[in-house]
Amino acid sequence: MAKCAYCSTTILFGGKRNGDLRFCNDKCLQGGSLAIAATQLPASEVAVYVGKVHRGSCPSCAGPGPVDVHTSYRVWSALVMTQWSSRPLVGCKSCGTKRKLGDAAFSLVLGWWGFPWGLVMTPVQLGRNLFALARTPDPTTPSPALEKILRLHLAAQAVEGRGRLPAAPGAVFK
Q: What is the closest distance, in whole angstroms, from the C-beta atom of residue 111 to Zn ion in the complex? A: 26
Cα 119 off chain centre by: 25
Share in percent of the chain as helix, strand, coil (round to 5): 50, 20, 35
- Is residue 100 within a helix (H) or strand (E), and if so which, with residue range? helix 93-110
Contact 15, 23 (CB under 8 A): yes
Shortest Cβ distance from residue 97 to Zn ion (Å)? 10
Residues 6 or more apart whose Cβ sits within 8 Å of residue 38: 148, 151, 152, 154, 155
**Dist. CA 29–CA 24, nearest whole Å:** 7
Q: Which of 48, 61, 81, 130 binds Zn ion (CB under 5 A)?
A: 61
Question: Counting contacts by CB under 5 A, is residue 24 touching Zn ion?
Answer: yes
Collapsed DSSP state (helix, strand, coil) of residue 154: helix
Binds Zn ion (CB under 5 A): choice among 45, 47, 51, 63: 63
Region from 18-26, 33-41, 98-106, 108-116 binding Zn ion, contact rule CB under 5 A: 18-26
Stretch near Zn ion under the rule CB under 5 A, chosen from 28-36, 81-89, 118-126, 164-172:
28-36
Question: Binding residue for Zn ion (CB under 5 A) from 2, 7, 47, 168?
Answer: 7
Minimum distance from residue 59 beta carbon to Zn ion (Å): 8
d(CA 127, CA 171): 32
Please, which of residues 74-103 interact with Zn ion by CB under 5 A? 91-92, 95
Q: Does 4 bind Zn ion (CB under 5 A)?
A: yes
CB of 131 to Zn ion, least distance (A): 21
Read off the amino acid at residue 172.
V
Binding site for Zn ion (CB under 5 A): 4, 6-7, 9, 24, 28, 58, 60-61, 63, 91-92, 95
